[in-house]
A = this chain, B = another copy of it.
Amino acid sequence: MSELCESAGDPGLLRRAEKLDAADELRALRDRFVLDDVVYLDGNSLGALPAHVPDRLADVVRREWGELRIRSWQESGWWTAPERIGDRIAPLVGAAPGQIVVGDSTSVDVFKALVAAVRMARQEQQRGSGPRDEILVDAATFPTDGYIAGSVARMTGCTLRPVVPEEVPGALSGRTAAVLLNHVDYRTGRLHDLPSLTAAVHEAGAYAVWDLCHSAGALPVGLDEHGVALAVGCTYKFLNGGPGAPAFLYVRRALQDRFDSPLPGWNSHAEPFGMRDTYVPARGAVRGRVGTPDILSMLALEAALDVWDGVSVEAVRAKSLMLTDFFLDCVAAYVPTGRVECVTPRAHEERGSQVALRCPDAGPVMERLIAAGVVGDFRHPDVLRFGFTPLYLRFADVERAARVLGRVLAGT
């Protein structure tokens, strides 16, 4: 660790950090993770390791695979893992059980959901009305969503139109089949208005697919409450499921019988071991399954979700906002004026669980930060991105991160 992080801090901010940590009702949760003296502000890219996961995974490998082998598909509950783990994620995103299934990558789940959305919108089309042949996509989306949306458009005979989320209501028309939106922008950390955008899309007779990668596990999503039809999300960021842990897919219960998957693998068949020639989709969330689930990654995720026992997303959200507020205050105190531009909204209702700061030399700055024990990430071309995971971050960490950032940016 360099001397950067040992420089003296502002006494007022240090006292504030101390008080905030002392009052933090979630502070004991940090012990549920493997952490060291690095300030880890990259949990929005890869969550830290929950402390009990290694032992659980060792048991999966040595006993369930090594000893029980094929029997584990039944006896160790491997076969039902995708929907069982989906039900563990459900309360974290405001969903009743039976609507989420875990499996495949986010990109693949976006493909399933967006094709299904187009098909549902077309099913409902009024006789005599024009075709629903347009897909709207968040113009600032994480690239993979845009690429997949392009493929869906091509394969369903639609055109793809990028629109910034705030302008979606005005862009909707009788041609709109589906809209792919991010709940939180991966680069800026802006939180979009899921309830009103969902309502506007449905009002237009289209379906919205929500990408929850940067909100699941960080803030209340309220899928059921806000009438969301389809959503996908990532489990290796704020859900700490491990590198490349499988994504999740939400299909609202009322729409499940109409969920028409472009990837109808045998795992979503009504009778998967019947070995039927004809595909008959299962009912319920399992209709979103495809092939054999990757059990090792999936059961590591299941174990990782134990850290949420007794934790409410509302408490996590409250602490998240306190962390990002405090970070912004510390940045204002420690970083030379004008050296960075904050691109994350100040308003709580527009902020996710990250702070993004723009500066022209963001790449080398992040390298120096990491070398000094503060890990965030760099997003092309000029963004320093800091993710705040309330389950394991302390206010003292936040003060230290901003202090080191100030020194690095001052070039001393």
Contact = CB atoms under 8 A, between A and B. Distances in A.
B245 A294 contact: yes
Contacts of A107: 263, 265-267, 290-291
Contact of A292 (B54, B78, B162, B236): B236
A263 B61 contact: no
Given A297-B297, A298-B244, A380 B275 contact: yes
A53 B296 CA distance: 12
Contacts of A279: 143, 146-147, 150
Given A49-B66, A293-B244, A264 B104 contact: no
A409 to B, nearest CB: 21
A290 B105 contact: yes
Interface string A272-313: 011111010000000000111111111010000000000000
Contacts of A375: 69-71
A407 to B, nearest CB: 22
Count copies of this chain in the complex: 2
- The interface size bin for chain A is 35 or more
A296 B143 contact: no
A49 B296 CA distance: 13
Contacts of A390: none
Interface stretch (A5-13, A38-46, A351-359): A38-46
A151 interface: yes
Given A105-B265, A245-B294, A143 B61 contact: no
Interface of A: 34, 36, 40, 42, 45-46, 48-49, 53-54, 57-58, 61-62, 64-67, 69-73, 78, 104-108, 111, 142-144, 146-148, 150-151, 155-156, 162, 187, 236, 242-247, 261-267, 269, 273-277, 279, 290-298, 300, 370, 375, 377, 379-380
The 3 closest A-B pairs by CB, nearest first: A105-B291, A107-B291, A107-B265
